[in-house]
Amino acid sequence: MDAVRLNAVTKVFREEGQPDLVAVDNLSLSIRRGEIFSLVGPDGAGKTTTIRMMCGVLFPTSGSVEILGLDQRSHHEAIKHKIGYLSQKFSLYGDLTVDENIDFFAEIHRMKDFRKRKEELLDFMRLTPFRDRLAERLSGGMKQKLALACTLIHTPEVIFLDEPTTGVDPVSRRDFWKILSNVLKSGISIVMATPYLDEAERSARVALLNKGQLLLVDTPEKIRSSFNHPVLEIIADHPREVLHILRNIPSIRSAQLFGDRLHVVAEEGAGIRDVLESELRSRGISARSIRRVAPSLEDVFISRIS
């Protein structure tokens, strides 16, 4: 039995006097039990809407959502206590302490004896020293750890995380992923929406979404290995100027700036390095390095939507 199954799910938002907005368009996919699965895409891709339909916050216009073999619409109450949901924005109570927030969520889920579970989670999230601190006085990373503790207090079988590391510093992002890896070991299925393709690389499988449609779904390794266009990394002075030049070369599918380096996806591999060197040289630019590199998920995704 899958943790989640979406069958031809479409979600249309309608507002009088406005054209229909198709947020999710005929989306079908399955998420296995015990895996971490990422929905990846830019703003407006339909990630949050999809997560909310999985959680039962929204219902699809057409199609069906099944959670742990149960239809979300007809078994909504039963499903509610089997899942956890961490929303995109910090939604806990700032005027309550860490302890009080966890207690509140435990009571919502009708838990009677949760003290041991709470102590385990506080220790697990390294929040024990801060248990008496008001939530509004926590750092961004600590707030997300508290939100995850509240999500896990009732021991759900599936948790849904909507862009949980957006706006969180890099160190806290890394810590959050270490925590998720340990959560996964307990057998909980994790479904996450993220705009960060480097985070998606850590997932068992990834669904790439754009404009509400599914582009592809597979393991990060298979997505990368199936990409049949050469990817080159260029190091040169004035990278933004070089980027503008590259985007006007017909044989280049896409070009993106990664820090001080450029990633170029080309139509064909034969002779492409010579073409790039010649084009840049004609503009008075000498590249310090041009080398073939393995494609990243970001290379694949940008190439698919360009």
Domain extents for the chain? 4-224, 227-305
Is the pLDDT reported for residue 270 higher than 80? no
Average pLDDT over residues 111-124: 92
B/e letters for 16-40, b = 16+ CB within 10 Å, e = fewer, are eeeeeebbbbebebebeeebbbbbb
Question: In the CATH scheme, what is the code of domain 227-305?
Answer: 3.30.70.270
pLDDT of residue 269: 63
Average pLDDT rounded to a whole number, residues 134-144 = 91
Q: What does pLDDT average to over the chain? A: 91
- Answer whether residue 133 shows pLDDT above 70: yes
Buried b (16+ CB within 10 A) or exposed e, 87-113: bbebebeeeebbbbbbbebbeeeebee
Reported confidence tier of residue 166, pLDDT bands at 50, 70, 90? confident
pLDDT at 207: 96
- The label of the residue with tokens 């073939």 reads 292
Please tell me the distance from the alpha carbon of residue 97 to that of residue 134, in angstroms, as a whole number: 4
Regarding beta strands 252-258 and 261-266, do their DSSP bridges make them parallel or antiparallel, or are they unpaired? antiparallel
> In the numeric block, which tokens belong to residue 140?
């961004």
Q: Of 142, 141, 198, nearest to 165 (Cα)?
A: 141
Provide mean pLDDT across the span 217-230.
Answer: 92
Same CATH topology for 4-224 and 227-305?
A: no
Per-residue confidence (pLDDT) for residue 39, from 0 to 100: 96
pLDDT score of 79 more than 90 = yes
For the entire predicted model, the pTM comes to 0.86
**CATH classification code of 4-224:** 3.40.50.300
What per-residue confidence (pLDDT) applies to 90?
A: 66
